[in-house]
């Protein structure tokens, strides 16, 4: 099955009261970890990469790997650009066969965010590609994103409604108190704000900064319209810690397949627990 437009998967999840994990990947074993679990759990899944990850692995290479592994395993998936910053990022992704793009102009003044997002929506929708945008600023640090003030830039519900109407985006990443990377403080999510946004917009919402969120918060967010949860740090942490531990326990081992294979298994445990928490198992 080829990659499907992300909005099709999100609409199903939104109606069905569950959410999809959106996992960042940048090498073969990370791709395998996500796809293998999706197949075992019979779950649709979103595979995503930020511009820096596509740059690292190759803008055509990484989507090529994802597509061949996913098609080999018969998994239902969407392939998404995470935190695209520019028109060029979006166009390169569409040309590489991604079925969804995020355009994150959240650091720009609202008028410019709307203008740039609208331009990308026009092009993307012409070829059936989904668009995710961000309004408000999600906290934390990841890739080239830095926002150390988690409370300062929460999404305003009314502004979000106007933004969606004016841009035509399919889905919106909301800032309600989550942060990218490891939490330096106890996450306190603003569920009233999420509830208001959900009622006003009536479209599937996206939550970034999934690593380290308590299970009850994740479930509550899903019940209030979140249909996509982004996970990056938790997978990388599991992968790297296992890699380091295995290498130091078996310093004589020079079989990279063994080391990477163990690291992959460790990432699979993270992916599986997220998928189960989100309730997307047995949906295909």
- Nearest-angstrom CA–CA distance, 196 and 160: 10
Dihedral of CA atoms 180, 141, 87, 14 in degrees, nearest 10, equals 10
Smallest gap, in angstroms, from Cβ of residue 252 to ligand 13P? 34
Q: Which of 21, 204, 209, 225 binds ligand 13P (CB under 6 A)?
A: 209
Q: Which residue is listed with tokens 């063994």?
A: 258
Task: Tell me if residue 215 falls in helix, strand or coil.
Answer: helix
Q: Which of 103, 234, 238, 263 binds ligand 13P (CB under 6 A)?
A: 234
- Nearest-angstrom CA–CA distance, 96 and 246: 35
210 binds ligand 13P (CB under 6 A): yes
70 binds ligand 13P (CB under 6 A): no
137 binds ligand 13P (CB under 6 A): no
Q: What x-and-dash track marks residues 71-100 binding ligand 13P by CB under 6 A?
A: -----------xx-----------------
Tokens of 170: 């399919």
Task: Tell me if residue 97 falls in helix, strand or coil.
Answer: coil
Tokens of 25: 């990947």
181 binds ligand 13P (CB under 6 A): yes
CA-atom Rg of the chain in angstroms: 18
Q: Which of 76, 233, 259, 280 binds ligand 13P (CB under 6 A)?
A: 233
Smallest gap, in angstroms, from Cβ of residue 128 to ligand 13P? 23
Smallest gap, in angstroms, from Cβ of residue 227 to ligand 13P? 15
**Contact assessment for residue 221 and residue 173, using Cβ atoms and an 8 Å cutoff:** no
Q: Which residue is listed with tokens 């026009």?
A: 122
Q: Which of 43, 113, 198, 232 binds ligand 13P (CB under 6 A)?
A: 232
Residue from 72, 82, 104, 217 carrying the catalytic annotation:
82
- Nearest-angstrom CA–CA distance, 52 and 36: 24
Q: Which of 193, 208, 262, 272 binds ligand 13P (CB under 6 A)?
A: 208
264 binds ligand 13P (CB under 6 A): no
Smallest gap, in angstroms, from Cβ of residue 277 to ligand 13P? 13
Q: Cα 236 vs. chain centroid, distance in angstroms?
A: 14
Q: How far is CA 20 from CA 6, 214, 223, in A?
A: 10, 17, 13
Smallest gap, in angstroms, from Cβ of residue 257 to ligand 13P? 27
Q: Which of 106, 198, 230, 259 binds ligand 13P (CB under 6 A)?
A: 230
Q: Is 82 a catalytic residue?
A: yes
- Nearest-angstrom CA–CA distance, 5 and 159: 26
In the DSSP assignment, the letter for residue 27 is: S
106 binds ligand 13P (CB under 6 A): no
Those residues whose C-beta lies under 8 Å from the C-beta of residue 254, and which sit 6 or more positions away, are none
Smallest gap, in angstroms, from Cβ of residue 74 to ligand 13P? 26
Active site residues: 82
Binding positions for ligand 13P, rule: CB under 6 A:
24, 82-83, 142, 180-181, 208-211, 230-234
């Amino acid at each position: 099955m080829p990659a499907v437009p992300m909005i099709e998967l999100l609409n199903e999840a939104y109606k069905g009261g569950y959410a999809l994990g959106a996992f960042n990947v940048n090498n073969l074993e990370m791709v395998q970890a996500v796809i293998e679990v999706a197949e075992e759990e019979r779950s649709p899944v979103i595979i995503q990469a930020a511009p820096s990850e596509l740059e690292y692995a190759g803008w055509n290479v990484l989507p090529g790997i994802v597509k061949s592994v996913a098609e080999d395993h018969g998994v239902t998936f969407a392939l998404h650009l995470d935190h695209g910053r520019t028109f060029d990022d979006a166009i390169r992704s569409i040309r590489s066969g991604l079925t969804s793009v995020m355009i994150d102009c959240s650091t720009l003044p609202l008028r410019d965010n709307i203008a740039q997002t609208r331009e990308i929506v026009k092009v993307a929708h012409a070829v059936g590609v989904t668009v995710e945008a961000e309004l408000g600023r999600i906290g934390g640090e990841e890739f080239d994103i830095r926002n150390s003030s988690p409370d300062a830039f929460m999404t305003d519900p009314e502004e979000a409604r106007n933004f969606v109407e004016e841009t035509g985006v399919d889905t919106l990443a909301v800032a309600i108190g989550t942060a990218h990377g490891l939490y330096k403080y106890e996450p306190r999510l603003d569920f009233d704000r999420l509830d208001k946004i959900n009622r006003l917009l009536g479209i599937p919402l996206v939550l970034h900064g999934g690593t380290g969120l308590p299970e009850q918060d994740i479930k509550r967010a899903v019940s209030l319209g979140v249909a996509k949860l982004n996970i990056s740090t938790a997978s990388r942490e599991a992968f790297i810690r296992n890699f380091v531990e295995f290498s130091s326990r078996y310093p004589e081992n020079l079989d990279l397949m063994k080391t990477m294979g163990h690291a992959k298994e460790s990432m699979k445990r993270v992916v599986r627990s997220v998928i189960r928490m989100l309730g997307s198992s047995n949906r295909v």
